[in-house]
Structure 1
Amino acid sequence: MLKSNSPNLKSWVDVPKGSDFPIQNIPFGIFKTKYLSPVAGVAIGNHVIDLVYLHENGFFDKLSLPQGIFNQKYLNDFLALGRKKGREVRERISELLRHDNDELKSNKAACEIALIPMSEVQMLMPVRVPNYTDFYSSEEHATNVGSMFRDPKNALLPNWKHLPVGYHGRASSIVVSGTPIHRPKGQVKPPDAEFPVFCPSQKLDFELEVAFITCAETKLGSHITTKDAEENIFGLVLFNDWSARDIQTWEYVPLGPFLSKNFGSTISPWI
């Protein structure tokens, strides 16, 4: 187990009981405030820690990080340093936040600047998404959808249990939590109609999923083995794959979803 994941750790920063952000979490994200342009930060309790301030004031000097790595609109360049470097940064932040470490705790001036109440920040997209693949990996979900669109007795297609079924979604419509989603329009074929009609979706659905954020670029034609896959995953976010089920029913066969799933997907701001 990583030291930063130990359940015995306690922080000098107040963390309310039941918080999503105890010292064992320390997720990365991008935020801005009334006075700060978008920068990288981590969450602890009800506060966000400004990583630009920590970096510029020597708290990461032993990690040999590139200048300005946290002073960016997205975390992509930081992720590109690799999972090992990400763990080193996370471990260092964990050290600074531990209840028995006075390095940051005793520096009141630094604490007043670096620790920002969550109520004063606006969370932004944590990464620039060049591409994403949506997998169909829940047997129960696949069975339910297969029953909806096909014969319930043959809900799962023969290939489902042998390969990772998925499709490439529209990366440009991925937005951060809290962003309004516009109701999509498309072709729908009512049960008693001879032809489809164009109208707003009446069956807008959502799904709760987990998305993996990768940290390594691959060259065209290359591949990552299953043995090396984990080291190329930086972290996870929650993902909401919005779906227009009535539009999907009509367009689904034979090539799968198109307009029914390309109008918006939501991710949580913290990795």
Structure 2
Amino acid sequence: MLNPQYSSPLQAQPLGVCENRVAWLPKVVIDLSYWHGGRKLKDVERFEWPGEIVEGTALEHAHQSCIHFGIDPTSTLEMWAFRTDWIIANTRSDIDQHWSSIDPQPRAINKVLVSHRPVWSSKQGTLPELQQWRMLDAVFLKFTTVKSTLLCDVDLSDHITAQLVEPSPIAGLQKLAVVDGRIADLKVIRRGSSAAGGQLVLVTGSVRIAIGPHSTPANEFDVVQTVNSALDVQLLPTTEFLELDGSDTILRPMAWQIENS
């Protein structure tokens, strides 16, 4: 079972890792895209590398593309650069000692979104460092149904985990940052039986987010609306004693609450 929550990159044995020779190694991804009127039009290119150098390479490509197509700060068409930091489960080969990523496995997380934020736009240039952003905690509440052979007094949080998925490219994402996407304060609370015969549970946890100083002042409703549209959480059973109830067809939307730091 792989479970890197609360672990830092380069730790060979993060919490819950049972396999030998597993390390959580960093990967930086820079996505370039065209936007107009606050909405995404088209992906341009993706740059990936284990280290920081990829950001400079990607932004140089963005500058050159804007020059080539005549995009400047006065243009209605805007190019944005978003940076996503991941930690990826890797294993070392016994033959050549090289590291390679682990394929997805049942009941195991193989990558974790650590952070996501806009870093540059053709109108605004390089965006301020995160220290200048308004920090907030985003708490999610997600109902789901499970099937389990566990006794009613067993803590289900030892048998199911949650991970933040990559944010959706919706309007408002340009002013939102995920500062730390590793789930904190994960709780799994039983809520009785479901109509399909399983157990209804409420899963809660929090991630650290921020609102950029480059954005227009937003009230709490605007922030909540953006977070609810852009962020989602995936649930994953981690032991054979519990599974998600696929027979339950009731749609239960997830909700986010915003808390000031």
Report the TM range for the smaller structure's normalisation: under 0.3
Instruction: State the TM-score, normalized to the length of structure 1.
Output: 0.20
The structure with more helix, counted as a fraction of residues? 1
Higher Rg:
1
Instruction: State the TM-score, normalized to the length of structure 2.
Output: 0.20
The structure with more strand, counted as a fraction of residues? 2
